[in-house]
Amino acid sequence: MISEAQNKEIHHYLKLLEAREMEVYNEFYDHIVTGYEERLAQEPSLKIKQYLQYEFLPAFGGTTGIKKIICKRNKETQKFYINQLKQNFASYFQWPMMLIVIALYLIIWQCFALFEPKPVFLWGSMLLSVIPILIVFGGYVGFYVQCKMRKLPYVSSIKNKSIIVPVIFISWIAQFPNWLKIVNGGEIIWSDSPLVILLLSIMLTFISIFSMSYIKLLKQHFDFKFRLA
C-alpha cells in the first residue's frame, strides 16, 4: 500500500500532466500505483518521485508522449459515450421499451386533441429545448459538487463534456417554432391538419426520448481499461 504522501505526489504529478477528467485520470492513477507497488517489492527504497521521473515517464515517451496518450484517450472515451447514447436511444425502439415510446406519443397526441394544438406545440417545444440543457447543466454541477465533497483530485468528466454537442443540436431542433417565425416574417405558420399534428407529435416524442436516453447515460457506470502504450 502506498502512503498518503505518495498518493498526493501522484495526484500532483497527474495534475501537471493535465489528466483532468475522471475516466483517464483514474486509469493513469491505477497504472502508476500498480507499477510502483510492483517495483517496491523488488526495490523497497525506491521513491515515488524516482519511479515517476525515471521509469514511468520515459516508458511513455516523456511528458509529450503522455499528454498525447491522454488526448487520445479523451477522444476515445468521448466517442464511447456518444455511441452509448445512441444505443440508449435505440433501446427505446426495441420490445418491451417500445411501449414507453408508444405511451409517450399517445400522451402528446392526446394533448393536441384535448387542448389548443398551437399552444401545446409552442409550450412543448420551449420545454423540450430547455430541459436537455438543464439536464446537462445539472449533470455538470452535480458531478462537481460530488467531487468537491469527496475531495477528489478532479472535478470534471468526459461523460458530461461529450454530450454537449448532441444536446445543443436537439435543443436547436426543438426551436422549430422560431424557424417558422423567421421563414414567415415573424408569424408562425400553423395548420391543424392531422398530418401536421402527427408530425409534431412524432418530433416531440423523439426529443423526449433523447432526454430520457441522456438521463439513463448519466446513471450508467463504466470501467475503462485502456492499454497505456
Asked whether the predicted pLDDT for residue 190 surpasses 60, the reply is no
For the chain, what is the mean pLDDT?
Answer: 79
Asked whether the predicted pLDDT for residue 142 surpasses 80, the reply is yes
Which pLDDT belongs to residue 102? 92
Which pLDDT belongs to residue 174? 62
**What is the number of domains present in the chain?**
2
- Do 60 and 89 belong to one domain? no
- Do 119 and 199 belong to one domain? yes
- Do 115 and 214 belong to one domain? yes
- Do 92 and 45 belong to one domain? no
pTM of the model: 0.70
Place 93 in a pLDDT band, splitting at 50, 70 and 90: very high
**Considering the domain boundaries, does residue 227 fall inside one?**
no
- Do 18 and 98 belong to one domain? no
Q: What is the mean pLDDT of residues 23-46?
A: 87
The span from the CA of 143 to the CA of 54, in Å, is 35
Range of the domain at 123: 81-219
What are the Cα distances from residue 5, in Å, to 17, 27, 30, 215? 19, 20, 16, 38
Asked whether the predicted pLDDT for residue 22 surpasses 70, the reply is yes
Q: What angle do CA 144, 149, 150 make, to 5 degrees?
A: 100
Element (H, E) at 141: helix 117-149
Q: What is the pLDDT of residues 39-72, one digit of tens each?
A: 888 888 889 888 888 888 888 888 888 888 888 8
